[in-house]
Amino acid sequence: AETPGAAFYVFDRCEPARPAPGPSLHVGAGAPQSGVRLVRFESPVAGRVLTWDRAHPALAVVSLDSVSLGEGAALEWDAGTPAASVARGEDGALMAAIDEGAQRRFVVAFGPDGSNWETDPSFPLFVQLVSEWLAPSSSGGGESHTTGEGVTIEGVGSEVVARGAGV
């Protein structure tokens, strides 16, 4: 399937080999094209979101204090990378925002299925707000594809196949 002119791209627990040709949301994965790496580790107890940046438009009215993490993960990047930590847990950054003009990226270290976030009222609000931040002029429409289904992203020049759970 082709995705010409997508408002933004979502990478759910998979990391693209090449940058998306527009803004992107990375969930449960890093954004290696922007220098943000996901680090996983064993965690004996469930982690929590301890702080978040309410000044960031994607988190301005989102409450993350009841979100608990069932997996150990954090985001890392080298000095000089244009990433800003917008949410932190005990082990480091849990969310990062990268604003390079038209190439905005938002990275979340954990997936909704690796936490209780998908059942928390803050999750759909976050999805709406991060969508508006990534693509402020989009019409709100979109399309989705399952893992294992090939998708050609305009400007990347090759087919992308995500391999994930259940494939």
Q: Where are the alpha helices (DSSP H) in the chain?
A: 122-134
The span from the CA of 103 to the CA of 89, in Å, is 26
- pTM value is 0.79
Q: pLDDT digits over 102-128, tens only?
A: 789 999 999 877 889 989 999 999 999
| Residue with tokens 């009841």, as numbered in its chain | 66
Give the residue among 67, 57, 63 at the shortest CA–CA distance from 129: 57
Q: pLDDT digits over 62-103, tens only?
A: 999 999 998 788 999 999 999 999 999 988 999 999 998 778
